[in-house]
Every structure is written in structure tokens, then in C-alpha cells.
């Protein structure tokens, strides 16, 4: 194409995947290590594989998957389809959205959970032991809000979100008309009615195919905070805010609240990764 845009058969797809919003995952025991975790990471890998198959069948040429949960080494690489690459491990700049930039045509956010305090399954914002609330330009957001805003600030439309029903509802609040797959519905923070992994994968594969094949663009309906960007983070304890307040360009608004303003959302996002690391390193 002479306009420099990718032909649709050359679509480049960026995928970020978390674990809490994968079908069948309901308990903290499935999230970190042990037999239940090994089973959960297989389901996570299967959902990613389904999304990749769907995207590739609609003509995606390049697919990169960012492993975005805990140690970020969850995906079983040998179980993923050929022709893709995986971003694995941490720390990495932009964390859950490592390597997002204007070079992608669209993004998928898979395995998502709702924000802290929302009542969704396994809901939290980055770390339940560190953060009670995050606001971006005055709006309360969780990981979904931050990730969608960052992708869209890079002109990369988010075209598919999967996760529990609360996560999907949160995404739709931010971006009405977004394509979503709800794989389970919370009965409580650690119990849910869930699709089986096989059924979830079928639905995700179909949605991914449609997301790539559809040329319709609804991004204008998405919430997009404007420059300058202001991030307000409420930490669990004042000692965490003490430690974070030593970062340059931060402002202490209250004993537990740190505020930072930046012209570029990616810069603010990187600073937020540092805040999380610092706050997580102190004993509350
Ligand atoms: Zn996670």
C-alpha cells in the first residue's frame, strides 16, 4: 500500500495476557505455583493459542504475546502455535503492555480481571497488598483502564477483551462497542460459574477471527484521557507512600496518596512500574 498502512492481510497483532480472567481460574491457589497453577497455566496457554489461531486465520501476519501475570513466565511456549513470538519475564518497561507502540495494528487483552474494589472475580489493581485505588485523569481505573488508555495513546486500537463478566463490563464502560468474551461470572471474589476451557477457547478463537477480519473501527467511542496525564495512586500503607514519594516529580497528596503528572502516557506508565516496585519492596 502506498499510504504506508499495512494491508489487512499484513495485520500485526499485539496480545497481552493475564491469568485471573482465564476460564476455570477462580482461586488464589491457581495463580502462583503448584499443581493447580500448572493446570491453570495450561488453560491460559490454550486461550492464547485460540486467539492466535483466530487472528492468523483472518490474516494476521505478525503476532507477539506479552505474558503479563506475576513472574510473567506462565505461558507454556511449546503449546503455542508456530509463527509467533512471546515476551516473557520481568521487570520489563511498560510491564503488562511491554513493547506496545505505534507499530501494531490492533491489540487483544486476554485473561483480564476487574479493578480493586469492584467485586469481580479475583479483582485487584496490580497488587491487592500494595494498592487500594488508581485514578488516571480523575477516573478510577484498574489494569484494563490503564492498558486500554496506553494502547490507544499509541494509536493501537484494542479490539478484543476476554475475562470474567465484571472485567468485560469494566472494559465496555471504558469502550462501548468493544468486542468481548466473558468466560465466567463471579459468585464471590473466589467462586464463579465458568465456561470449560474448551468452550472458552472456541468462543475466543471466533472472536479473535472477527476482531482481525472486521475493518470496522469504533475507537472514537473509547475513553481516551487527554494530555497532560495525571496518575493518582493510593497505597495500602503510608510507609509505601513514604518510599514512593522519594521519586522525583511525585507529589504527596495525603498520607497514602501519591500523584504524578506527565505529558506522555508511556512515561507515566513506566514511572508507575517503578512506584509498584518501590512500594512492594517496603514492609508495611
Ligand atoms: Zn495477574
CATH code of the domain containing 176: 3.40.50.10780
Give the model confidence (pLDDT) of 218-228 as tens digits.
777 889 999 99
> Which CATH number does the domain housing residue 274 bear?
3.30.1360.130
124 flagged as catalytic: yes
Q: Which of 124, 152, 159, 209 is catalytic?
A: 124
Which of 174, 205, 221 finishes a domain?
Answer: 221
Q: Name residues whose C-beta falls within 8 Å of residue 199's C-beta, 6 or more positions apart in sequence.
A: 23
20 is in an annotated binding site: yes
Cα-to-centroid distance, 41 and ligand 1 (Å): 11
10 is in an annotated binding site: no
- Name the nearest CA neighbour of 95 among 247, 277, 260, 282: 277
Number of domains in the chain: 2
> Tens of pLDDT along the chain (284 residues)?
333 344 555 899 999 999 999 999 999 999 999 999 999 999 999 999 999 999 999 999 999 999 999 999 999 999 999 999 999 999 999 999 999 999 999 999 999 999 998 889 999 999 999 999 999 999 999 999 999 999 999 999 999 999 999 999 999 999 999 999 999 999 999 999 999 999 999 999 999 999 999 866 677 788 999 999 999 999 999 999 999 999 999 999 999 999 999 999 999 999 999 999 999 999 88
- Average per-residue pLDDT for the chain: 94
List C-alpha distances in Å: 267 to 79, 106, 110, 131, 238.
34, 21, 24, 20, 25
Tell me: do 214 and 244 sit in the same domain: no
113 is in an annotated binding site: yes
List, as ranges, residues with CB under 5 A of the ion ligand 1.
18-20, 69
Cα-to-centroid distance, 223 and ligand 1 (Å): 23
Query: Would 1 be classed as within a structural domain?
Result: no
- Asked if residues 210 and 150 have their Cβ atoms less than 8 Å apart, the reply is no
Cα-to-centroid distance, 69 and ligand 1 (Å): 4
Tell me: do 78 and 155 sit in the same domain: yes
Residue span of the structural domain in which 57 resides: 10-131+142-221
- Asked if residues 126 and 106 have their Cβ atoms less than 8 Å apart, the reply is no
Tell me: do 233 and 215 sit in the same domain: no
Query: Would 2 be classed as within a structural domain?
Result: no
Amino acid at each position: 500500500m502506498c499510504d504506508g498502512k499495512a494491508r489487512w492481510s499484513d495485520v500485526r497483532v499485539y496480545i497481552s495476557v493475564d491469568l485471573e480472567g482465564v476460564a476455570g481460574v477462580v482461586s488464589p491457589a491457581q495463580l502462583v505455583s503448584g499443581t493447580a497453577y500448572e493446570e491453570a497455566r495450561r488453560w491460559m496457554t490454550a486461550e492464547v493459542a485460540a486467539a492466535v489461531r483466530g487472528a492468523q486465520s483472518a490474516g494476521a501476519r505478525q503476532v507477539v504475546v506479552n505474558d503479563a501475570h506475576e513472574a510473567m513466565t506462565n505461558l507454556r511456549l511449546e503449546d503455542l502455535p508456530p509463527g509467533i513470538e512471546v515476551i516473557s519475564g520481568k521487570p520489563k518497561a511498560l510491564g503488562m503492555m511491554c513493547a506496545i507502540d505505534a507499530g501494531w495494528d490492533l491489540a487483544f487483552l486476554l485473561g483480564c480481571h476487574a479493578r480493586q474494589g469492584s467485586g469481580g472475580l479475583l479483582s485487584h489493581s496490580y497488587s491487592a497488598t500494595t494498592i487500594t485505588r488508581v485514578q488516571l485523569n480523575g477516573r478510577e481505573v484498574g489494569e484494563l483502564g490503564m492498558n486500554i488508555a496506553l494502547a490507544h495513546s499509541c494509536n493501537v486500537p484494542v479490539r478484543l477483551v476476554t475475562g470474567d463478566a465484571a472485567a468485560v463490563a469494566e472494559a465496555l464502560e471504558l469502550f462501548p462497542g468493544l468486542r468481548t468474551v466473558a468466560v465466567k461470572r463471579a459468585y464471590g471474589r473466589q467462586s464463579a460459574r465458568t465456561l470449560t476451557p474448551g468452550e472458552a477457547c472456541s468462543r475466543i478463537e471466533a472472536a479473535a477471527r472477527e476482531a482481525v477480519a472486521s475493518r470496522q473501527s469504533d475507537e472514537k467511542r473509547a475513553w481516551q484521557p487527554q494530555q497532560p496525564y495525571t496518575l493518582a495512586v493510593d497505597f495500602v500503607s503510608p510507609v509505601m507512600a513514604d518510599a514512593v514519594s522519594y521519586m522525583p516529580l511525585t507529589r504527596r497528596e495525603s498520607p497514602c496518596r501519591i500523584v504524578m503528572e506527565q505529558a506522555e502516557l508511556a512515561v507515566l506508565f513506566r514511572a508507575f512500574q517503578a512506584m509498584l516496585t518501590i512500594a512492594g519492596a517496603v514492609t508495611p
